[in-house]
Amino acid sequence: MSENSEKQIDAATGTELNTHEWDGIQELNTPLPRWWLWTFYATIIFSLGYVVVYPAIPLMDSATAGTFGWSSRGDLKKEVAAAEATRASTNKAIAQMPIEQLAASPELMRAAVEGGRAAFKVNCVQCHGSGAAGSKGYPNLNDDDWLWSGDLAGIHTTLVNGIRQPGDDATRVSQMPAFGRDQMLTAAQVEDVVSYVRLVSRQEPASASAQRGTKLYADNCAACHGANAEGNRDVGAPNLADPIWLYGGDRAALTETVTNARQGVMPAWGQRLDPVTVKMLAAYVHSLGGGEQAKR
Amino acid sequence: MSSHVNRTGKAGGLYARRPDIFPRAVDGFYRRLKWAIMAVTLAIYYVTPWLRWERGVYAPDQAVLVDLANRRFYFFAIEIWPHEFYYVAGLLVMAGIGLFLLTATVGRAWCGYACPQTVWTDLFLHIERLIDGDRNAQIKLRKAPLGPSKIVKRTAKHSAWLLVGTLTGGAWIFYFADAPTLLRELFSGRAATVAYSTIAILTATTYIFGGWMREQVCIYMCPWPRIQGAMLDERSLIVTYKEWRGEPRTRGLKRAVDRVEVGDEAGDCIDCNACVAVCPTGIDIRNGPQIGCITCALCIDACDDVMARIARPRGLIDYATFEDCDVERKGGAPVPVRRTILRSRTFLYFGLWAAVGLGMIVSLGARTRLDLSVAQERNPLFVQLSDGSVRNAYTIKVRNMETRPRTVRISIEGLSGGAIWDSLSDEGSARPSLTVQVGPDQVARRRIYVRASRSGPAAQDFTFGLTALDDQGGADRDAARFDRPETVE
Ligand code: SF4
Ligand code: SF4
């Protein structure tokens, strides 16, 4: 607006000029179209309506509810409920299907694997890692080396009952003696057994120590780990001849294992999660690549 | 004279009222051209969704369909998948270059003839003339007090406008669903809410933009005039008033003849205002090129008519280039239109435009309707197996873009001793290749495992190959990498 009462009119356009001037350039005072103003007022009216209809004004610990009681949380709740409803029949089918037969139904299996993937991210990644690759003391679930069982039912049992869970009669328990600590073997004998194990797992060439370890192994270890160090899944004894080591296959780690034994634990998920989720987890772990067919 | 844009209007001060514009009907070459283009563009818009195109049982038979739910775009024989969005990007690039080409050649022809705002405004203006009469009758009606006849006419006009608006919004949604089905659903009230709200919104915008805002959209809301102004050069054709021929104006034909008789100088413009009266944006082209001019050339038709009546050569207002203007002002002859249109800049734009178009046609012709893409699992990168071998996991996607189910074989090349299996089976079924079924017009996504020997480079490149197992054939490949643990010595 010009403070000057005398209006200057631009001769070429007939439009009023602004009074200020920069380097000899004067600006036309072109009025805005009036509908523009109306549009602006309309947006104000719209916003007032919006504030009334939708939750808008923040209060101390909530916000105004809006006339229709709409909220984004409510929307989400509805969507979650709808998603659950669509899944209900699948979940029911999974619940009724014995785990061994899940694989016979590709759609159910697929649904279970997807559900298991989600449940794994919440419950299992803390120990087994986001890619289920595990770490020292926490088994890699991607590989085909299983302490107890690698088929669907076996994995399911491990999941339901856990490892060394007190109060669960069916929990998986393996009992390796602490050969060194309990003085069943001398430190030198432990070293010999380690040499032998490293020989059969093809990490070390034959040596006098390993030669001595052969007999020590046969007397003390073969009962559980097998004559050829192939392990025994019935008692959860690991295969010592393969290149996969839960606690490490180097001399120091093996010496520690033989001396003090290892006692890993896993929760009994059957006590914590609903049966369908546990089944789904079993299916997911089975699908990671190391899953086995049930032995006939 | 003040141009419309800068006219302060009655309100004065900060906000200006929109001056009423009552464009007079006009006939002539450009008006007829506009009619023709309007007929063609409106026909394309309204008829296209009703064209059918047989694609077999698995795909819709609508010739042009944007299937948002299934993320497909059908254009006659061409079917575009989301990953082929570059075709749409290519079309946008062509539209951009096309606009450069058109503007560099014939100025704002897009604005004047083909822009939907222009086409629908023109339609609305015509409806207005049918009901209210031409310019003078409209002005009179505007001034008349509200009586029965005015009420009837106003009701008729706005109803007709709203009807056009509804038809416009209604036609739009047919591009997004099977048209006959949707039409039935619309009338039985079963169509999706979004269909009704789209019609409502487009009806409102068509009615407001075409009936009420008209040139205000072009002048205040549209970004094109600014961009196009920058794309014009001194050899672009624009609507120009040849002031060296028209000035000084004489007030009426009689006075012009008188003046010439006295030997006074007299321009050809008889100041009849016909050019202003017909202008749909309400401007006076005699003030020179301005942003309000959409180069619709109706003023050319109007003035040519006047020139014919006072027996002067046509073209006082005409399509001309700045260069022509200079030449003509000095008394020379303008460059022929052919040479204005065919010049290096337009050739360059046309070349670019055609290159993009040709590239798209060639790639459309060469594209396979079977596509394999492989992504390696990174977490974990590899897994050591108990027999000493190493396993990697991959997610493969097999896209079957045909409308029939297909069976393909996925094999690995360049990874000796490699075997693959998918996550729904187990290692026992590891084979050198894998068979995958893909439904019609679908993507089969599989997590698959590849096992290879422990010995080898830590990162080894190899290839996944896809071979169609049916008689129709087809193949694709995708590169991948196999990772192993670093060898410790
Ligand atoms: S129509 Fe032609 S003659 Fe009439 S005022 Fe416009 S330029 Fe002058
Ligand atoms: S000045 Fe002429 S070409 Fe420009 S918008 Fe008006 S009628 Fe159309």
Take residue A2 and report the two structure tokens written for it: 């010009």
Q: Please, which residues have CB within 8 angstroms of residue B430's CB and are 6 or more apart in sequence?
A: B419, B420, B421, B449, B451
Token match 């509200």: residue?
Answer: B146
Q: Which has the minimum average pLDDT: A182-191, A240-249, B174-183, B286-295?
A: B286-295
Look at residue B107 and tell me if it is in a domain. Answer: no
Look up the ipTM and state it.
Answer: 0.74
CA of A91 to nearest chain B CA: how many angstroms apart? Answer: 19
Q: B401 pLDDT band (50/70/90 cuts)?
A: confident
- Tens digit of each residue's pLDDT (9 = 90 or more) over A136-189: 999 999 998 999 999 999 999 999 999 999 988 889 999 899 999 999 999 999
Q: Domain spanning A87-168+275-287: which CATH class is it, in words?
A: mainly alpha
Q: Which has the minimum average pLDDT: A289-293, B22-26, B28-32, B62-66?
A: A289-293
CA-to-CA distance for A139 and B149, rounded, in angstroms?
Answer: 90
- Number of structural domains, chain B? 3
CA-to-CA distance for B27 and A229, rounded, in angstroms?
Answer: 102
Look at residue B45 and tell me if it is in a domain. Answer: yes
The pLDDT value given to residue B336: 79
Instruction: Choose from B391, B421, B426, B451 for mutation: most chain A CBs within 10 A.
Output: B426
Look at residue B385 and tell me if it is in a domain. Answer: yes
The two beta strands, B64-67 and B72-75, are antiparallel
**Three-class SS of residue B334?**
coil
The pLDDT value given to residue B332: 81
- B312 and B253 housed in the same domain: yes
H or E element, residue A196: helix A187-200
Look at residue B57 and tell me if it is in a domain. Answer: no
Looking at residue B112, the DSSP 8-state letter turns out to be: I
Task: Give B249 Cα–ligand 1 centroid separation in angstroms.
Answer: 9
CA-to-CA distance for A17 and B8, rounded, in angstroms?
Answer: 11
Look at residue B87 and tell me if it is in a domain. Answer: no
The pLDDT value given to residue A196: 96
* pLDDT above 90 for B355: yes
The pLDDT value given to residue B58: 79
The pLDDT value given to residue B4: 40
pTM for this predicted structure: 0.75
Q: Calculate what percentage of chain B has a pLDDT beyond 70.
A: 94
- B266 and B139 housed in the same domain: no
Domain parsing of chain A, residue ranges: 35-67, 87-168+275-287, 187-260
- B35 and B173 housed in the same domain: yes
Ligand number with the minimum distance to the CA of B284: 2
Q: Please, which residues have CB within 8 angstroms of residue A110's CB and are 6 or more apart in sequence?
A: B424
Look at residue B96 and tell me if it is in a domain. Answer: no
CA of B98 to nearest chain A CA: how many angstroms apart? Answer: 32
The pLDDT value given to residue B124: 95
* pLDDT above 60 for B8: no
Average pLDDT in chain B: 88
Looking at residue B208, the DSSP 8-state letter turns out to be: I
Average pLDDT over residues A66-83: 91
We report the CATH number of the domain holding residue B419 as 2.60.40.10
Contact criterion met (CB < 8 Å) for A14 and B9: no
Q: Is the separation of the CB atoms in B244 and B328 below 8 Å?
A: yes
Residue B302 Cβ < 6 Å to ligand 1? yes
Token match 């487009």: residue?
Answer: B202
Q: B260 pLDDT band (50/70/90 cuts)?
A: low
- Domain span at residue B475 reads 370-483
Q: How many CB pairs under 8 A join A and B?
A: 107
The pLDDT value given to residue B2: 37
Look at residue B430 and tell me if it is in a domain. Answer: yes
**Chain B stretch 401-420, residues whose beta carbon is closer than 8 A to a beta carbon of chain A:** none
Q: Is the separation of the CB atoms in A38 and B25 below 8 Å?
A: no
* pLDDT above 60 for B12: no
Residue B293 Cβ < 6 Å to ligand 2? yes
Which CB contacts under 8 angstroms, 24+ apart, belong to A85-93?
Answer: A87/A111, A91/A115, A91/A276
Q: A259 pLDDT band (50/70/90 cuts)?
A: very high
- B376 and B408 housed in the same domain: yes
- B384 and B306 housed in the same domain: no
Q: Is the separation of the CB atoms in B447 and B422 below 8 Å?
A: yes
Task: Tell whether A156 is in a known binding site.
Answer: no
- Tens digit of each residue's pLDDT (9 = 90 or more) over B90-110: 999 999 999 889 888 888 888
- B392 and B306 housed in the same domain: no
Take residue A152 and report the two structure tokens written for it: 């669907």
H or E element, residue A33: strand A32-33
Average pLDDT over residues B187-204: 92
* pLDDT above 70 for A256: yes
Q: Do the domains spanning A87-168+275-287 and A187-260 agree at the CATH topology level?
A: yes
Q: Calculate what percentage of chain B has a pLDDT beyond 90.
A: 52
Give the residue from A264, A140, A138, A247 showing the smallest Cα distance to A194: A247
Task: Tell whether A128 is in a known binding site.
Answer: yes
Q: Is B455 on the interface with A (CB under 8 A)?
A: no
* pLDDT above 50 for B328: yes
Q: A1 pLDDT band (50/70/90 cuts)?
A: very low
- B153 and B32 housed in the same domain: yes
Query: Which of B182, B217, B252 is the C-terminal boundary of a domain?
Result: B217
Ligand number with the minimum distance to the CA of B310: 1
Query: Which of B288, B316, B335 is the C-terminal boundary of a domain?
Result: B335
* pLDDT above 50 for B196: yes
The pLDDT value given to residue A291: 84
CATH superfamily placement of domain A187-260: Cytochrome c-like domain (1.10.760.10)
Look at residue B134 and tell me if it is in a domain. Answer: yes
- Tens digit of each residue's pLDDT (9 = 90 or more) over B331-344: 888 777 777 788 88
The two beta strands, B15-16 and A32-33, are parallel
- From chain A, the residues in CB contact with B387 under 8 A are 242
- From chain A, the residues in CB contact with B391 under 8 A are 142-143, 289
In B261-344 the beta strands, taken as DSSP E runs, fall at: 317-320
Q: Is B311 on the interface with A (CB under 8 A)?
A: no
CA of B279 to nearest chain A CA: how many angstroms apart? Answer: 18
Q: Which residue has the higher pLDDT, B402 or A136?
A: A136
Ligand number with the minimum distance to the CA of B279: 2
- B169 and B40 housed in the same domain: yes
The pLDDT value given to residue B255: 67
Query: Which of B335, B358, B391 is the C-terminal boundary of a domain?
Result: B335
Contact criterion met (CB < 8 Å) for A130 and B379: yes
The pLDDT value given to residue A63: 84
Task: Tell whether A20 is in a known binding site.
Answer: no
